[in-house]
Amino acid sequence: MIPVEFDYKVPATLDEAVALLAGDLDGAKVLAGGHSLIPAMKLRLAQPQLLVDIARIKSLAYIREEGDQILIGATTTHYQLESSDLLKTVCPLLPDCARSIGDVQVRNKGTIGGSVAHSDPAGDWPAAVLALDAELVVVGTSGERTVKAENFFVDLLTTDLQPGEILREIRIKKPSGRFGHAYQKVPHPASGFAVVGVAVNLVLNDDGSCKSAGVGVTGVAVKAYRAKAVETALAGTNLDDNALATAVEHVCDGIDPSTDLYASGDYRRHLAKVHTRRAIQAAKARAK
């Protein structure tokens, strides 16, 4: 349980952090909250030669409105998101998701950017950013680029981040009109990670029918994914029991649910249907 020897740098700015990574593309790793990287290092599953600690770069921790968007810095902690009065009003899915993560200690130290960039198949934040159709801003020596959330999560613990790039910001379009959000999760009793987690971003018409839906799912497959078949099935319906029963049957379309020591693929498929229904019902009840 002792990691291999490594160097440790604490850059003062994002530019300095990018330069440090560029100097060792193969051996350097970014450290934010450290809840995923440090255990992997202790088990020697990860053996970085250099840790670049960005947690103290103050310019990367913020939650603010800009036009019709909500901007969230990568090192914003789970607790800051959970306790944000702004988000409770304009994007309650984020506080709802944050409060389900780990325990108080984890929420005080862990960061949204670290979770998203790690792309754990049972991580909570990927489901939320997918449901909200977020954009992820990454920066490297070649400059800055923006990636849609649905294109960011590539595979198991793999994202669209290229060597030397750092996730800088998450951008979410502010929900408008009559909307409701919800996150439903079955936590693993030991780790707190999602056995299954479903995030729903629901927008209703004036008559209460579904104008649009965003559904992000985590814990089921090797990466979080957007359940577009469920979204399509919900659109235009009045979200009654029959409509929900039909829609949730599609939550695993095109997906091969994972089997592990805790849950079989069939059990995960069942949980995904149950909690997709519950998340939609909760989002509908919260719509204003």
Same domain, 139 and 116: yes
Q: Find tokens 């607790």 and name the residue.
A: 79
Query: Which pLDDT tens digit goes with each residue over 111-149?
Result: 999 999 999 999 999 999 999 999 999 999 999 999 999
Query: Which pLDDT tens digit goes with each residue over 261-270?
Result: 999 999 999 9
| Distance of alpha carbon 215 from alpha carbon 202, whole angstroms | 9
Query: Which pLDDT tens digit goes with each residue over 1-21?
Result: 799 999 999 999 999 999 999
What CATH number is attached to the domain comprising 39? 3.30.43.10
Query: Which pLDDT tens digit goes with each residue over 212-230?
Result: 999 999 999 999 999 999 9
3-class SS of residue 247: helix
Is residue 71 predicted with pLDDT exceeding 90? yes
Which of 128, 167, 153, 149 shows the shortest CA–CA distance to 221?
153
| Distance of alpha carbon 158 from alpha carbon 221, whole angstroms | 13
Give the percent of the chain with pLDDT over 70: 100
pTM metric for this prediction: 0.97
Structure tokens at 275: 């909690």
Mean pLDDT estimate for the chain: 97
Is residue 180 predicted with pLDDT exceeding 90? yes
Same domain, 32 and 83: no
Name residues whose C-beta falls within 8 Å of residue 4's C-beta, 6 or more positions apart in sequence: 41, 44, 47
Within a domain: residue 1? Answer: no
Task: Provide the residue range defining the domain that includes 26.
Answer: 7-53
What CATH number is attached to the domain comprising 91? 3.30.465.10
Q: Amino acid identity, residue 224?
A: A
Structure tokens at 167: 């996730």
Is residue 288 predicted with pLDDT exceeding 90? no
Within a domain: residue 185? Answer: yes
Structure tokens at 92: 């309650």
Same domain, 169 and 182: no
